Amino acid sequence: MAIDFQILGKPQHDNALLVRVSTGQSMYRLLFDCGEGCLDTLEFSELREIDHLFFSHLHMDHVAGFDRFFRCNYDRPGRRNSFWGPAGTQEILQHRFMGYLWNLHEGMTSSCLVHTIAPDQVRCHRYELEEAYSISHEHATSASSDLLIDQPSFQVRPIFLNHGTSSIGYIVHEKERMNIDIDRLKDLNLSPGPWLKQLRGGGDPDTILGPEGGGMRLGDLIEKVVTITAGSSIAYLTDFIVDDQEIDFLAKKLQGCRHLICESQYLSEDRELAVKNHHLTVTESAKIAARAQVDDLILIHVSTRYSETQWRGALQEAKAIFPKARFATHWQ
């Protein structure tokens, strides 16, 4: 599987999600939220390799670990820090950038891109270490927020949620993978080489390949040696409220998603409290997973109001609706 992920943080503490997308030649690392203590289990070298940090929203339990991240990454010359979040992200992060004394930064070059996501656009501002991050430069504006990142191997899309303020969920989709069966190729007395780009690139199936392709028709050779593997996907949803209609809306958005990482702040008996604080109950999380027909539901973001017996027992509530619900492995 080309998508690997790790739940960060302990039960009844702040939680976050680290997603690794492997292309076979390189690795992308995407971090979703940055609560207190969430990065403690990650090595410095891995923190330096994180390509994008996405915030669901900027409440302190989702941003309190930012100092550790920024301390590791404020000085990455040639590799920009890239941050994403809802309305207010630009202002809050610039305050965080400037919340330190900068007097040894002369001659140091490093950039931060802060993307503010709205339903109708994404605005990006750039900040420079050599300016002590004091100046907000207009960098780019996209007229759509449907697709945040589009790499050859994967995409990231937002889902707008209601937490009494804007909260954003994220879906990482791995694109279809084209694999060439080298054994089948050898059975046809063909040798691997640069010419295989013609197979990966597709094109007119009636194209006749040159000597390295045995003079075969492109469409015939693709049929014989190429297999297409559907990409995996993972969704991260936290800190929001739903009604039955919104569950159906989310289920449509999540169709085909393999893994769902979803908050489970309250037990179903505390639905009134969940509504008041704009959070889900564990049964609502399970209903979303069931209607979306995901393969895997991992529950996070458990309230501190419950005893360990209570929050562990809540898993049975979820399993009654979605049998494949679980907690993170290290919570067991």
CA-based end-to-end distance of the chain: 23
Nearest one of 188, 186, 200 to 228, comparing CA atoms: 200
Q: Point out the catalytic residue in the list 14, 61, 239, 270.
A: 61
Whole-angstrom distance, CA of residue 77 vs CA of residue 222: 43
Whole-angstrom distance, CA of residue 309 vs CA of residue 332: 12
**Coil, strand or helix at 84:** strand
Contact assessment for residue 21 and residue 2, using Cβ atoms and an 8 Å cutoff: yes
Nearest one of 82, 80, 132 to 106, comparing CA atoms: 132
Residue 61 a catalytic site member: yes
Contact assessment for residue 142 and residue 121, using Cβ atoms and an 8 Å cutoff: yes
Whole-angstrom distance, CA of residue 221 vs CA of residue 215: 10
Tokens describing residue 316: 């049975």
Whole-angstrom distance, CA of residue 53 vs CA of residue 126: 15
Please give the DSSP secondary-structure letter assigned to residue 222: H
> Which positions ≥6 away from 21 have C-beta within 8 Å?
2, 3, 27, 28, 29, 30, 151, 153, 154, 172, 174
Q: How many residues does the chain have?
A: 332
> Which positions ≥6 away from 244 have C-beta within 8 Å?
none
The CA distances from residue 216 to 196, 198, 206, 253, in Å, are 13, 12, 9, 42
Nearest one of 72, 21, 26, 23 to 46, comparing CA atoms: 72
**Hey, which residues are catalytic here?**
61
